[in-house]
Amino acid sequence: MKKALVSIIIPVKNSAKYLDECLTSIDSQTYKNIEVLIVDSHSSDDTLKIAAQHKATVLQYESKIKAGKFDAPYKRNFGVEKSKGDFVYYLDADMKLPSTLIQEIVTMLGDQAYSAIVVPEDSVGTGIWAQAKQLERRCYWGDDTVEASRVFTKKVWNQLGGLDTSLGGGGDDWDLHHRVLVGGFKVGRTKSIVLHNEGHLELFNLMKKRFMYGRDSVKYLVKRPKSSFISYFPIRPAFIRNWRLFVKSPLIALAFVVMRFGEYSAGFSGIIYSRFDYDK
């Protein structure tokens, strides 16, 4: 019986800092029938050199969107369009996969029990803000209002039309996950957890990212008012359920509160900015 081909899509731009570790973790998978598609937009560092060392296929994406706008959804759709796999999995260059993850995914999708898969993430990095981000991510494990599918059968991806690129800012993930559920497709969740390397995380960079997301968030709010309220509400049930994590590390818990306040302030500023200048 022919082994299913898994297409892994990785959007990049000057991602050399983390890409080698990411691709090494893919090379180390126990399941080997994998194609890796690097979707680049003219990186000027060693990104393409590293991709070549790992024999990944590089696709150049010519962006036609406004500079500074979140372009990952466009790159992911482009990569899936060019892929040949039975299953597609999009991830980021700063992620590291456990060695048995793809085998687990193939087993879950291969018996047709599931059409999409959620892969939980854990943050790693240095500094207090990386620890605060790790606390946040661990609260989200198993939370259907936050975690979204990143793995799909190619058939379901094509049927649903991929990511809605107009949403951006994380809303594209949640929107596609919502369409999977509304379509009656069964979603599974891996036991394996992907490591998301935050590096030395700075609060300013987190706020900058949330400002960019905020500029697009109104579009998701309009399209999915009910689910977006749950997704964007600052005090989530997941935090209450995992109160022991906060009590265990009070200093990190305090940093978490400061981080969330900063992110939400930046996101709200992005929303205001979008109403006045973003579309001009």
Q: State whether residue 87 is helix, strand or coil.
A: strand
252 touches 201 (CB < 8 A): no
d(CA 48, CA 159): 32
**In this model, does residue 167 exceed pLDDT 70?**
yes
Residue pLDDT, tens place only, 20-38 = 999 999 999 999 999 999 9
Instruction: Give which of 264, 263, 267, 249 is closest to 128, Cα–Cα.
Output: 249
Residue pLDDT, tens place only, 198-256 = 999 999 999 998 888 877 777 777 777 776 666 667 778 899 999 999 999 999 999 99
Q: What is the pTM of this model?
A: 0.91
109 sits in which H/E element: helix 101-110
Q: Which residues contact 114 (CB under 8 A, 6 or more apart)?
A: 108, 186, 187, 188
151 sits in which H/E element: strand 151-153
Q: How many CB atoms lie within 10 A of CB 76?
A: 26
- Domains of the chain, with CATH numbers? 6-278 (3.90.550.10)
